[in-house]
Structure 1
Amino acid sequence: MSTQEKSMEELVQKYNVAAPRYTSYPTVPFWDERTFSTEAWKDQVYRTFQQSKDKGLSLYIHLPFCESLCTYCGCNTRITKNHQVELPYITSLLKEWEMYLAVFNGEKPLLSEIHLGGGTPTFFQPENLKLLIEGILKHVNVAAESCFSFEAHPANTKTAHLQILFDLGFRRLSLGIQDFDPLVQFMINRHQSFEEVEEVMLNARKIGFDSINFDLIYGLPRQTIASVRDTIEKSMLLGPDRISFYSYAHVPWLKPGQRHYTEADLPKGTAKLALYNLGKRMILAKGYADIGMDHFAKKEDELYLAFQQERLHRNFMGYADRFSPLLIGIGVSSISDAWGGFAQNVKTVEEYHKLISSGVLPVVKGHILNREDLIIRRYILDMMCKGKVRLNPTSYLAEQIMEELSTLVQDGLVCIENDLIRCTATGRSFLRNICMAFDQRLLNLRSKTQLFSEAI
């Protein structure tokens, strides 16, 4: 073992601790619901809407239904083969959207983004997705440079799904691959062949989709160096524009489906990191650029251009090539972000329908950010999106942050020049750990309770 390899092994052993993914700050477990109410949330949405009309808003729509449970999944899902659930759910989604339109006092919002997530959006019949999107679009003005995207399961995505969504303005597609290895697919109950993925890719390209993402995961049960190499090689043959190659989050206390296998089946520590390092080397060797935590893009893709121009943004949908101060999430468990506040919807389909039918906005919890939250949020966003942070040296937070960073400096994960903090090349594998040094709410807790998955 070389000195460099030994050093990385030591870093992994030291920093493989429970850590947030920082799709928000404060992270959901630290939301203070004492300052939150539905009315306070509506006020925050309206203020942000008025202040950012020119930037437009983003809309996330959660479609929770799946025909089978992928056991690795950490999303809010409802497993059913009954497609009669589609139209009632769409009716509730459109009613919730009308509630937000009422918050805007009848002004037509400028729509910058739509993202369909899940669950499995392609569980829905193509004509029902058309009904949903047309119901959304008739109440908005669509931005000239809008971005519409959706997630899809390659095994059930039909050409009709692709064509109808393309005709409605969708140009980006994210395919959930995870791993091509049959044993790994069996362990996670996620089955799609290379041929099925290739067919969806060819059809999408033929129709005109200009940005296709692959979701790949390292750290899955029974995953090996050989299976990751094979998965990356097959992915490179298909040439997606973007790749999300992220760490499996093992949280069986939150997602009982993950008890389908045991921790003995999972690659851990340096073995797991070896999977990531192999995949990353192979991806970079094919000309993709590392643009953020576990995300890669071709150098002509808009996500890479946003990274180069320092306009990359991160929110509950992951990395985005634009910043919309107002993100509205509709549907079961969706999270909304009005920059100065967050809100999450109820998590069961039954309760969601009940509240919607009663004319009640279905938010169940949230957080209104205070002044300190807003400062820290910007610091963490800058580190996640730019790999650097410029501290305000006069802020009372600076001294504590510098103290927390001192060990990271010694370990070569960050470097500091006056008030500028930069992530090093080594540090890019430990971004979540670096951001923890800024996270005042986490630092104040100092709890041994595990709230998050491991960082590596």
Structure 2
Amino acid sequence: MISKQLLKKYDVAVPRYTSYPTVPLWEDNLNEALWIQKVQKAYQDFGCNEGITLYIHLPFCESLCTYCGCNKRITKNHQNEGPYIQGIIKEWEQYLKVLPEKPKLAGIHLGGGTPTFFSPENLRKMISFIRESSTVLPHAEFSFEGHPNNTTMGHLKSLNQLGFDRVSYGIQDLNPLVQKTINRIQPLEKVIEATGNARKAGFKAINFDLIYGLPHQTVKTIKETVDAIAPLKPERIAFYSYAHVPTVFPAQRSFEAHLPMKDQKRELYETGKRLLEDLGYIEIGMDHFSLKEDTLYQAQQKQGLHRNFMGYTTQPSKMLLGLGNSAISDVYYAYAQNTKDIDLYLEQTNLNHLSISRGHLMNHLDIEIRQTILDLMCHYQTPLEYLTCSRATISDLEDLADDGLVILSRGKVQVTELGKPFIRNICAAFDQRMHDQRMRKFMFSKAI
């Protein structure tokens, strides 16, 4: 177990580093014309060989899960489906107009919200249009996030026919009291049914999302959840730390009094990790576990692991285009985020505009630091010879080394076994933009 002294020292608010710079530190120095230039340059430099990965944000949910930090709209009105799907199509058409050729497609991921809020017919309409207007690469990977309660065999068959072979089910926790408290009621029977249906429909890989640090969780409830899913043997399990940011997501205040304390929360993770490893899962980077047969483990072994706004991936594509309200794009030279407001997003796409609300142009130092953080997040080590470290970075690294979290030698930083749980803190040592603005307060979740 990690000492209470280290937990107290390093359990501070830091980014999860799905990007560098992290979104609150973007300079907002981007307009639509400049964004299009960077998209075109990135496609010429990378996309024409590696292809483009698409993240499609589908924001509707029928009920509010009170722990959730995603951008979503709660509604039972399924008349929203058609106009939103049309908005996605029109946004993609704008990219088709500016790309130099029929784009090569390396992957699609449907996130939310609840993608399976949408009917199989509407999802088919959207994906078919994207596929027909692209050249799908042989290694392309299509995946979606499914809710066990409403992912039907119709969804699974339709998406599998369109090339989807990976589904990620949000399980979170199977304890009835935890589920009631976070308003996420889904019996084990539904999880078993959804998993079985995915295998019958032809899906080759299944991921379960679990969360530790939720209200009323104990070592006992974590063990019961892991024991219950063990027979289903998903290829991957994401074991996320619950991010408590009630100033941003007020619904989280409803259970604040029932959250585990710092050392209790870490014990939940250590318990879950041990149980998953006993089942044959290997820890991959931060929060992820996979079986040895899975491509995520194989990518890690070949130093081919990558990390972007969707988390860890085997896709090396340097071009990630986000479609839909609030979706974030990363084209190596710049980041952009669409407006979060659904109605404004639809209005702008209907006027044949990209719905960009904010962005960031990368400078040379940004690109260097991003690679350093990617090395640490994916491989637990990074060379230093090509990076000019600030005084703040050197001071932080020396402090981390004194605490036994990293080893500094021969021009590189090596994360120790003790340091792995503190990987976000280690990455933060290199975060030049956060160092420059330390007196500002940002809404990041706690590291541990």
| Aligned-partner residue type, residue 95 of structure 1 | K
Deviation at 1:259, TM superposition (A): 2.1
Conserved? CA contact 1:306–1:322, under 8 Å: no
Q: What residue in structure 2 maps to residue 309 of structure 1?
A: 302
Q: What residue in structure 2 maps to residue 350 of structure 1?
A: 343
Q: Select the residue among 349, 362, 365 that pairs with 2:355.
A: 362
- Looking at structure 2, the residues matched to 419 and 248 of structure 1 have their Cα atoms a distance apart, in angstroms, of 35
Deviation at 1:451, TM superposition (A): 2.1
| Aligned-partner residue type, residue 213 of structure 2 | G
| Aligned-partner residue type, residue 310 of structure 1 | Q
Q: What residue in structure 1 maps to residue 420 of structure 2?
A: 428
| Aligned-partner residue type, residue 299 of structure 2 | A
Q: Select the residue among 128, 133, 155 that pairs with 2:127.
A: 133
Conserved? CA contact 1:216–1:244, under 8 Å: yes
- Looking at structure 1, the residues matched to 232 and 384 of structure 2 have their Cα atoms a distance apart, in angstroms, of 42
Q: What residue in structure 2 maps to residue 293 of structure 1?
A: 286
Q: What residue in structure 2 maps to residue 23 of structure 1?
A: 18
1:22-421 maps to which residues of 2 (within 5 A)? Answer: 22-33=17-28, 35-52=29-46, 53-105=48-100, 107-262=101-256, 264-392=257-385, 395-397=387-389, 400-421=392-413
What's the CA shift string for 1:246-303, capped at 9, x where partnerless? 10001111112212222x2111211000000000000011111111101000001000
Query: Which runs of no fewer than 5 residues in structure 1 stay unpaired?
Result: none
Q: What residue in structure 2 maps to residue 454 of structure 1?
A: 446
- Looking at structure 2, the residues matched to 441 and 268 of structure 1 have their Cα atoms a distance apart, in angstroms, of 30
Conserved? CA contact 1:391–1:398, under 8 Å: no
What's the CA shift string for 1:168-219, capped at 9, x where partnerless? 0000000000000011101111111111101111111122211110000000
| Aligned-partner residue type, residue 130 of structure 1 | R
Bigger mean CA offset, 423-432 vs 440-449: 440-449
- Looking at structure 2, the residues matched to 232 and 398 of structure 1 have their Cα atoms a distance apart, in angstroms, of 44
| Aligned-partner residue type, residue 416 of structure 1 | L
Conserved? CA contact 1:172–1:211, under 8 Å: yes
Conserved? CA contact 2:319–2:331, under 8 Å: yes
- Looking at structure 1, the residues matched to 117 and 378 of structure 2 have their Cα atoms a distance apart, in angstroms, of 32
- Looking at structure 2, the residues matched to 246 and 233 of structure 1 have their Cα atoms a distance apart, in angstroms, of 18
How many residues get paired?
447
Conserved? CA contact 1:249–1:453, under 8 Å: yes
| Aligned-partner residue type, residue 401 of structure 1 | T
- Looking at structure 2, the residues matched to 143 and 242 of structure 1 have their Cα atoms a distance apart, in angstroms, of 24
SS at match of 2:107: strand
Bigger mean CA offset, 277-286 vs 8-17: 8-17
- Looking at structure 1, the residues matched to 147 and 377 of structure 2 have their Cα atoms a distance apart, in angstroms, of 28
Deviation at 1:370, TM superposition (A): 0.5
| Aligned-partner residue type, residue 199 of structure 1 | E
- Looking at structure 2, the residues matched to 180 and 133 of structure 1 have their Cα atoms a distance apart, in angstroms, of 32
What's the CA shift string for 1:427-448, capped at 9, x where partnerless? 1111111100010011111126
Percent pairwise identity: 50
Deviation at 1:357, TM superposition (A): 1.4
- Looking at structure 2, the residues matched to 236 and 8 of structure 1 have their Cα atoms a distance apart, in angstroms, of 30
- Looking at structure 1, the residues matched to 261 and 212 of structure 2 have their Cα atoms a distance apart, in angstroms, of 10
Conserved? CA contact 2:248–2:443, under 8 Å: no
- Looking at structure 2, the residues matched to 187 and 428 of structure 1 have their Cα atoms a distance apart, in angstroms, of 31
SS at match of 1:425: coil
SS at match of 2:143: strand
Deviation at 1:396, TM superposition (A): 3.0
Deviation at 1:450, TM superposition (A): 4.0
SS at match of 1:115: strand
Conserved? CA contact 2:24–2:442, under 8 Å: no
Deviation at 1:399, TM superposition (A): 5.8
| Aligned-partner residue type, residue 18 of structure 1 | A
Conserved? CA contact 2:165–2:205, under 8 Å: yes
- Looking at structure 2, the residues matched to 40 and 26 of structure 1 have their Cα atoms a distance apart, in angstroms, of 19
- Looking at structure 1, the residues matched to 53 and 390 of structure 2 have their Cα atoms a distance apart, in angstroms, of 33
SS at match of 1:54: helix
What's the CA shift string for 1:77-133, capped at 9, x where partnerless? 01000001101100010000000111104x111100100000000001111111110
- Looking at structure 1, the residues matched to 331 and 258 of structure 2 have their Cα atoms a distance apart, in angstroms, of 40
Q: TM-score, normalised by structure 2?
A: 0.98
| Aligned-partner residue type, residue 65 of structure 1 | F
- Looking at structure 2, the residues matched to 268 and 320 of structure 1 have their Cα atoms a distance apart, in angstroms, of 31
SS at match of 1:324: coil
Deviation at 1:398, TM superposition (A): 6.4
- Looking at structure 1, the residues matched to 129 and 86 of structure 2 have their Cα atoms a distance apart, in angstroms, of 9
What's the CA shift string for 1:406-444, capped at 9, x where partnerless? 111111111122211111111111111110001001111
Q: What residue in structure 1 maps to residue 429 of structure 2?
A: 437
